[in-house]
Amino acid sequence: MQKLFKTAVIAASAVLALSGCSPVAETKNVVLVTHDSFAMTDDLIHTFESETGYKLKIVKAGDAGAMTNKLILTKDQPIGDAVFGIDNTLIGLAKENQLVDGVLQPIDFGDVCMNYDKDWFASRNLSAPSDIAQLTDANYKNLTVVENPASSSTGMAFLATTVAKFGDPGYLDYWKKLKANGVKVAAGWEDAYFTDFSGSSGHGAYPIVLSYSSSPAYEVRDNGKSQTASILNDCYRQTEYAGVLSGAKNSKGAAALVNFMLSQDFQKALPETMYVYPITRGIELPSDWAKFAPAATTLVGQQLDVNAGRKGWITAWSKLFE
């Protein structure tokens, strides 16, 4: 009987080895769920994998708002081990739904501001706007593209900006005027910036776009000047977080990945890969940032209870743009 038992154990072990389904092998993969704008160089991926022994798989799940909604819908059967890209407009939603096991760790930040195409305005002898209130003026009709706050974290940040600046329900009056003035609403930041905006690679039809104060540093042309600039007053500071998903198959690997995102190597790469400021103080920024990517001069919305107001604001906004 003992011999038969030993034979069965050996046979079972052989089957596991041949099928590649050993429990140890499964834990070597770590799946990161993130938004579409996430970028990590091959060198950084290699560094993470060689330092930790884990194999990284990246799953992009739409803009940050869409990603968070997807994680909520799949929280009983998580689609990954770690998450990156939940921001300070979404963190309350994540906590309410217990998406993360432990804390959400801040990784980077950026100031959400309006950007404009300097060349477009100069070629038409038209002054660029200096305040978001001016975007409802007839001079800027059909010139602005923003992101949908229901699916985009930058869009939600701007919606919160308008609530902070114009009040509630005054923000809706502003949006009514903006809609009447021909504002375009894109699903996410990549569509708005790289397709619709005239000042970037897409050469679109809209010379004003909702983006970041750091974006002009990546529109420097051969003459050494940036084609774009930001409206630096009344911006919203967006912080992005990473964490271990509740119910993750590989929580240890996820924790290792979050820790890696706080490493010097990863933090140094953030300005070049995702156009954001590293959360770690003292990280040297690219030389162009001092000239072309200043932080906002004034911030709004930091005192708003976004978690309490989000549903009502988005519902009212959505009714207006149906």
- What pLDDT score does 142 carry? 98
Antiparallel, parallel or unpaired: β 184-186 and 55-60: unpaired
If asked whether residues 199 and 305 sit together in one domain, one would say yes
- Residue with the larger pLDDT of the pair 134 and 322: 134
If asked whether residues 134 and 194 sit together in one domain, one would say yes
Q: How many Cβ atoms from other residues are within 10 Å of residue 168's Cβ?
A: 14
**DSSP letters along 37-78, please?**
T----HHHHHHHHHHH-PEEEEEE-SSHHHHHHHHHHTTTS-
Structure tokens at 93: 């939603």
Q: Could you report the per-residue pLDDT of 23-50, keeping only the tens digit for each?
A: 444 569 999 999 999 999 999 999 999 9
If asked whether residues 12 and 153 sit together in one domain, one would say no
- The pTM is what? 0.87
Q: Could you report the per-residue pLDDT of 262-282, keeping only the tens digit for each?
A: 999 999 999 999 989 999 999
Q: Which domain holds residue 175?
A: 110-236+294-320
If asked whether residues 10 and 91 sit together in one domain, one would say yes
Mean pLDDT of the region 134-140: 98
74 Cβ contact partners less than 8 Å away, ≥ 6 residues apart:
none
What percent of the chain has a predicted confidence (pLDDT) above 70?
Answer: 92
**Domain at 141, CATH number:** 3.40.190.10
If asked whether residues 129 and 65 sit together in one domain, one would say no
If asked whether residues 139 and 195 sit together in one domain, one would say yes
If asked whether residues 144 and 38 sit together in one domain, one would say no
If asked whether residues 298 and 187 sit together in one domain, one would say yes
If asked whether residues 138 and 225 sit together in one domain, one would say yes
Q: Could you report the per-residue pLDDT of 202-244, keeping only the tens digit for each?
A: 899 999 999 999 999 999 999 999 999 999 999 999 999 999 9
What are the φ and ψ backbone dihedral angles of 122, each rounded to 5 degrees?
-65, -40
If asked whether residues 163 and 120 sit together in one domain, one would say yes
Number of domains observed in the structure of the chain? 2
Find the Cα–Cα–Cα–Cα dihedral 314, 161, 62, 179, rounded to 10°: 60
If asked whether residues 193 and 303 sit together in one domain, one would say yes
If asked whether residues 157 and 115 sit together in one domain, one would say yes
